[in-house]
Amino acid sequence: MSLIVILGLYTFALLFISFCEISFLKKEKNTQAVILSEKDYKEAIEISIENKKFSIFSNLYSFFINIAWISFGFAFLKQYFIKDNSILENTLFLLAFFVIGAFLSLPLSIYSSFFKDKKQGFSNITVKTFVLDFIKQLVLLLIIGFALLYALLYCYEFLGEYWWFYAFLIAFFVALLANVIYPIIIVPMFNKMQKIEDESLLAEISALMQKCGFSSNGIYSIDASKRDKRLNAYFGGLFKSKRVVLFDTLLKALNTKELLAVLGHELGHFVHKDILKLLALSALIYFSIFFIFAHLPLAFYEQSSLLDVNAGVFALIFILGELVVFILSPFLNALSRFNEFKADMHGAKLTSKDDMKNALICLAKENKAFVKNSKIYTFFHLSHPSISDRIKALDES
């Protein structure tokens, strides 16, 4: 089977799922509003439909970009970068592939940030911030990308038949390292991060964390509102770099009890060791991808002009890797949704069911997220249960 056919089938599956979701949402227009007010319910449906339409366009755009790479793009890069097939040449080949890809994705990012999200009432981003973000991302790509790709290509060239196993170890180690440095180095490059100064709130959050045996090196807020109005909170980092990070939008929208319920939910992931389970699953996915792509038929390389290019296997990983994740997604999403239900219960236990439910409703309202999803969309795409399913589970617990 050719690469183009495989990509075509994958894209068709994505489009089919999106069209099913749109059909489901259109039917929901005629139903009575639940959880949200009638106005918010209808608005959330319209926004969700618009987002799914954008997703359809994005998937088609990505499909044609990938076809272009396979048909002539890789041959073009090979002509300019590959002479002796050295590690340096192959690293530059892949960096050029990523940099060009970053610029090709710009039209989608610009439309999403400055048109779709602004129309929906989310985006606050300015042209200056957008441009600076893109430049910073590009610099990180060039610096970190060069080091990582060079190391992976070294494995390919010098570590024999089982090069893919050593490449997997390096890639997974870098992923772990990224989690450690993300909250202390990467986030401050893009957002102003400062410690929470509200002593009363700090005391309540600290007491909540102590109940769960969770220690961190600080409780911070970030100025997320300079880009987007959506609400969020997370525990970033690993080991001693762990931080509680609250979006300024969340601090403004939720009262203290609701905020503690959200944090209780996140602490539930810590108590249930979901982060460690996720790391183990991530390792399995990384292992599977490197094993599969190390044993691809030569025909795939011939079809994409990558037959005599050491970087070819890594280029195909980034073209087809999403397909492997998509195939695994039903299992991964089901496990994630199960963990989310348990985390909700933990948040409710630390605070109350009403606080947890009110927090979920506020998140849905402020993020203009529709409260239901079709079964097929949930099966393939949702790592979190719908708000209606989460509230139902809390009511039945």
What's the pLDDT tens digit per position in 142-169? Answer: 999 999 999 999 999 999 899 999 999 9
Note the pLDDT of residue 1: 66
Note the pLDDT of residue 238: 67
User: 28, 372 in Cβ contact below 8 A?
Assistant: yes
Beta-strand runs (E) in the chain: 193-195, 219-222, 233-236, 243-247
Note the pLDDT of residue 250: 87
Dmax (CA) of the chain? 67
Task: Give the distance from CA 258 to its chain's centroid.
Answer: 25
Place of tokens 């970033």: 236
What's the pLDDT tens digit per position in 305-332? Answer: 998 899 999 999 999 999 999 999 999 9
Which helix (H) or strand (E) segment is 349 a member of?
helix 312-350
| Residue 322 assigned as binding residue | no
Residues forming beta bridges with residue 247, ordered by sequence position: 222
Note the pLDDT of residue 134: 96
136 pLDDT above the threshold of 80:
yes
| Residue 269 assigned as binding residue | yes
User: 364, 44 in Cβ contact below 8 A?
Assistant: yes
Residues forming beta bridges with residue 234, ordered by sequence position: 245
Note the pLDDT of residue 285: 92
Cβ within 8 Å of residue 160, ≥6 positions away: none
- The Cα 58–Cα 8 span in angstroms is 14
How many CB atoms lie under 10 A from the CB of residue 307?
Answer: 13
Q: Above pLDDT 70, what percent of the chain?
A: 98
29 token code pair: 């227009």
| Residue 381 assigned as binding residue | no
Q: What are phi and psi of 123, to 5 degrees?
A: -75, 130
Note the pLDDT of residue 316: 95
Short-list 230, 241, 248, 145, CA closest to 191: 248
pLDDT confidence band for 124 (50 / 70 / 90): very high
What's the pLDDT tens digit per position in 63-109? Answer: 999 999 999 999 999 999 999 999 999 999 999 999 999 999 999 99
Residues with active-site annotation = 266, 344
How many CB atoms lie under 10 A from the CB of residue 28?
Answer: 22
Note the pLDDT of residue 25: 96
Comparing 28-37, 82-91, 202-211, 374-383, which segment has the lowest mean pLDDT? 202-211
Average pLDDT over every residue of 335-353: 93
What's the pLDDT tens digit per position in 247-298? Answer: 888 888 888 899 999 989 988 888 888 888 888 999 999 999 999 999 999 9
265 token code pair: 């939910």
Helix (H, G, I), strand (E, B) or coil at 123: strand
Note the pLDDT of residue 239: 66
334 pLDDT above the threshold of 80:
yes
User: 300, 3 in Cβ contact below 8 A?
Assistant: yes
Note the pLDDT of residue 240: 65
Short-list 340, 339, 322, 341, CA closest to 380: 322
Average pLDDT over every residue of 218-241: 80
